[in-house]
Amino acid sequence: MAVFVTRRIPAEGLRVLSQAGGCRVQQWDSEEPVPRAELLAGVAGKHGLLCLLSDRIDREVLEAAGPGLKVISTMSVGFDHLALEEIKKRGIRVGYTPDVLTDATAELSVALLLSACRRLPEAVEQVKNGGWTTWKPLWMCGYGLSDSTVGIIGLGRIGQAVARRLKPFGVKKFLYTGSGPKPESGAEFEAEFVPLTRLAEESDFVVVACALTPATQGMCNKDFFSRMKKTSVFVNTSRGSVVNQEDLYNALAHGQIAAAGLDVTTPEPLPTDHPLLSLKNCVILPHIGSATYATRSTMAVLAANNLLAGLRGEPMPHELLL
């Protein structure tokens, strides 16, 4: 079986592939994304493809691969970079990496929320640039979680893990929204299912943890931000396209909301002259939700095992049901 791996991945994952009998691995062995032309050439004639969220796997790639392609395994839980309709039409199986990155991503979401609401990057900057002159009663104040209402957009694996971590901070009420009420997911937090508009209006903190789909694309827009409280904090660790960034910029710049924390943007990387980067009340991270050594290693091993199982026609550890 011939497979193409689109990036340098943690060694543990590659070892799983190289130790599997009968698997010929070709790899784009670089920290940087595979150029499109190399992807199209690399995938030609392969049976398996191990890719990342930065690789757009569309019809062109599937056609370049040819009819022998049996499995696509993405080293991510998000799968919005895969043209699922085209993939399904060709009978190709898809593996992904849920669960193993939930803790790391939830932890980062909480870190980002606290950084934004307690203004940590701004405060660190003040220490460095001499802005810290003395202790001042009203200086560098922000907003705390105690007695707050937290609204979670997408109470899935990561959304629940975020709620579980935030609860001990003294959150008074959890709200959530999604495609429908999920009583079994909300029970642990006594979370109430509400429409998006009510979540925006009542939350002190909004955490976006949903998948990017046609329904969620651009969901956090001008109308959404205009409903939020002036003192509220917005956090997104899902995908950049769930947010209309121009609308977010305006909401932050005009004091419609207090602050934002983003681990994901459109595009990625965000150009260094992007208006959002000029705002003090916007903390932006470079898509590092799952970035712990252990998590990335486990993701790579899972992606490799998904690929092998698919190639052998066996059940995958985590198959995306199309």
User: What positions carry a catalytic annotation?
Assistant: 287
Pairing of the two strands 93-95 and 319-320: antiparallel
- Which residue is listed with tokens 């939020």? 228
Confirm or reject binding of residue 157 to ligand NDP (CB under 6 A): yes
Contact 252, 235 (CB under 8 A): no
User: Taking the complex as a whole, how short is the minimal distance between the CB of residue 215 and ligand NDP, in angstroms?
Assistant: 4
Other beta carbons within 10 Å of 221: 15
- CA–CA separation, 312 and 289 (whole Å): 32
101 or 283: whose CB is closer to ligand DGY? 101
Instruction: Give which of ligand DGY, ligand NDP, none residue 178 binds (C-beta under 5 to 8 Å, depending on kind).
Output: ligand NDP
Q: Which residues contact 193 (CB under 8 A, 6 or more apart)?
A: 175, 176, 177, 178, 180, 181, 182, 186
Which DSSP category does 47 fall into? S
User: Taking the complex as a whole, how short is the minimal distance between the CB of residue 243 and ligand NDP, in angstroms?
Assistant: 12
Binding ligand NDP (rule: CB under 6 A), the pick from 10, 13, 42, 78 is 78
Binding ligand NDP (rule: CB under 6 A), the pick from 48, 178, 186, 261 is 178
Structure token pair of residue 26: 């070709």
- CA–CA separation, 317 and 239 (whole Å): 25
Confirm or reject binding of residue 302 to ligand DGY (CB under 6 A): no
**Residue type at 143 in one-letter notation:** Y
Confirm or reject binding of residue 290 to ligand DGY (CB under 6 A): yes
Using the contact rule CB under 6 A, the part of the chain among 15-23, 73-81, 164-172, 307-315 near ligand DGY is: 73-81
User: Taking the complex as a whole, how short is the minimal distance between the CB of residue 233 and ligand NDP, in angstroms?
Assistant: 17
Which DSSP category does 270 fall into? P
Q: Give the footprint of ligand NDP on this chain (CB under 6 A).
A: 77-78, 98, 101-102, 105, 153-159, 177-180, 182, 209-213, 215-216, 237-239, 263-264, 287, 289-290
Residues contributing to the site for ligand DGY (CB under 6 A): 53, 76-78, 101, 289-290
